[in-house]
Amino acid sequence: MLSNFGARNAELRQMDITKDMLIEELIDQYPFSVEYLREKGIRCIRCGEPIWGTLEQAAKEKKFSDKDIQNFVDEMNQLRIEKT
DSSP state string for 11-33: HHHTSPP-TTSBHHHHHHH-THH
The yes-or-no verdict on residue 9 having pLDDT over 80 is no
Cβ-in-10-Å burial (0-12, 13-18, 19+) of 11 comes to: exposed
The yes-or-no verdict on residue 1 having pLDDT over 80 is no
At residue 2, the pLDDT reads 46
- The arithmetic mean of pLDDT across residues 78-84, rounded, is 88
At residue 15, the pLDDT reads 80
pLDDT tens digit sequence for 10-69: 554 568 999 999 998 998 899 999 999 999 998 877 655 556 899 999 999 999 999 999
Q: Which residues contact 11 (CB under 8 A, 6 or more apart)?
A: none
27/54 Cα distance (integer angstroms):
11
What are the boundaries of each domain within the chain?
A: 4-83
